[in-house]
Amino acid sequence: MSASDLGWFTHDRFGLFIHWGLYSLAARHEWVMSRERIPVEEYEKYADVFEPDLYDPREWAAQAKDAGMRYVVITTKHHEGFALWDSKLTDYTVVRRTPWGRDLIRSFVDAVREAGLKVGFYHSLLDWHHPDFTIDGFHPRRDDPDAREQNAHRDMARYRAYLHGQVRELLTGYGRIDYLFYDFSYAGDDHHAVWGPKGADDWGSEELLRLTRELQPGIIVNDRLNIPGDFVTPEQYQPAKPMERDGERVPWEACQTLNGSWGYDRDNHDDKSVELLVRMLVDGVSKDGNLLLNVGPTGRGAFDPRAEAALAGIGEWMRLHSRSIYGAGASTFAPPSDVRYTQRGDRLYVHVFAWPFGHLHLPGLAGKVRYAQLLHDASEIRRREIDPRLEAYTVGLGGMPPGTLTLELPVQRPDVAVPVIELFLEDDAAAREDGGLPRAPLPARP
């Protein structure tokens, strides 16, 4: 797709997404301005009271790191148009327009870097505040009787210059930026059938992507500019298999919420359990993908207790199991149902989503494993290959299809979010179609 080095990205696998803006004060979804058709002048009241006195980006970075995340991506501007940095191109910024009066992105970047994590920006291509951004089917003014006439006074060329100018500020003023998530295009795609579609021509995508790479050589960019980027971005669903474009596998990252909303959503308690979140992470890696998991901080700048508990729970699992995540990806072996495999060199990680009684039968692995252990406590798991000709009888398992490896499991499911068995593959079994991977070094502790 491009020349960017995705090495760190496909190795690290797990990042934190942060959606923070004036909508955090409304606390009823980041699309509140559009959903409730709130006029600009009325929406601006949130800027008048935005005072995030609990904001401590070091604390955010620490929580991300403890969860095992390796990069953090923050909304510099969402569709509402409000800038969390000291933009010189508008007054609608945290610095000029709020009682807080300080650049939030500067301290964020510093804290994330200091924690040794990679820094990413999310930047909205849409802007419901800017007077030149034309009204379309997503815009808060879409139901105004004169919506289409209002567009006569709006000029996307001027907006484009503003968009590019703000990106220039962000990519020149804050040191090295590793990652950019542009959001989003709705031209010619069936998923977003809406009047007034917008895409590459509206954003000046080719030029914007060129500018992005020129200002930040080495940056990786997502695929939502309506032209190809470095990785693709499934949202709020788990792909059923490794993702492809034109028949070729592509790097991908699923972005997921804790409760269905990206911005802080006070009354939405549809939280995913820690176990489900870990399964989503594992499921993605088993299909060669990343997980960008979102937290929507409150208007005071804190993670709410449910988000904190989720991150801590994932961190507890990652402390014991990150070996099956970092540097790992899809395996060529096919797992049985309710199991996900990830592989790193000669290690095959068996993630058991539903703990069976007594035995786990793994097709195609007979003779290919030299050792097996539970990952969380390095306790041995005994292995058997049962003669396919044997018939099941009173107290004896019957034969399995040729090539099946049978693992003997304890009755008690290990008390971790997702139990993992680490298989040490024989050297020839570890060789993959791509020419074979070297024996896996243990990844550095997070």
Binding site for ligand GLC (CB under 6 A): 19, 30-31, 183-184, 235, 255, 262
- Across 206-242, b (16+ Cβ under 10 Å) vs e yields eebbeebbeebeebbbbbbbbeebbbbbeeeeebeee
Least distance from ligand GLC to the Cβ atom of residue 354, Å: 30
Q: Pick the closer one to ligand GLC by CB: 191 or 269.
A: 191
To which residue do tokens 């792909």 refer?
A: 239
| CB-nearer residue toward ligand GLC: 293 or 425 | 293
Question: What value does the CA radius of gyration of the chain take, rounded to a whole number of Å?
Answer: 24
Name which of 94 and 255 has its Cβ closer to ligand GLC. 255
Contact call for residues 312 and 67 (beta carbons, < 8 A): yes
The full DSSP string for 144-211 is STTHHHHGGG--HHHHHHHHHHHHHHHHHSSS---EEEEE--BSS-GGG--SS-B-HHHHTHHHHHHH
In angstroms, rounded to a whole number, what is the distance separating the alpha carbons of residues 366 and 385? 6
- What's the closest the beta carbon of residue 206 comes to ligand GLC, in angstroms? 21
We find the least distance from the C-beta atom of residue 292 to ligand GLC, in angstroms, to be 8
Burial category of 85 from C-beta neighbours within 10 Å (exposed 0-12, middle 13-18, buried 19 and up)? buried
Residue 334, SS3 per DSSP = coil
Q: Which is nearer to ligand GLC, 184 or 341 (CB)?
A: 184
CB 122 → ligand GLC: shortest distance, Å? 7
To ligand GLC, the closest distance from the beta carbon of 241 in angstroms equals 21
Instruction: Determine contact, residues 415/361, Cβ cutoff 8 Å.
Output: no
- Residue 282 amino acid letter: V
Nearer to ligand GLC, 136 or 422 (CB): 136
Token pair for residue 41?
């002048």
**Residue 183 CB, nearest approach to ligand GLC (Å):** 5
- Please, which residue, 80 or 346, has the CB nearer to ligand GLC? 80
Give least dist CB 178 to ligand GLC, A. Answer: 18
Residue 79 or 344: which CB sits closer to ligand GLC?
A: 79
80 contacts 129 by C-beta, under 8 angstroms: yes
Provide the minimum distance between the beta carbon of 192 and ligand GLC in the complex, in angstroms, as a whole number: 9
In terms of Cα–Cα distance, which of 421, 341, 418, 410 is closest to 374? 421
User: How near is the Cβ of 399 to ligand GLC at its closest, in Å?
Assistant: 49
> Nearest approach, Cβ of 186 to ligand GLC (angstroms)?
9
AA identity, residue 98 = T
Q: Which amino acid is at 438?
A: P
Phi/psi of residue 57, nearest 5 degrees: -60, -25
Rounded CA-CA distance 275/314 in Å is: 8
For ligand GLC, which is the closer residue by CB, 26 or 430? Answer: 26
Peptide bond into 184 cis (omega under 30): yes
Q: Which is nearer to ligand GLC, 38 or 423 (CB)?
A: 38
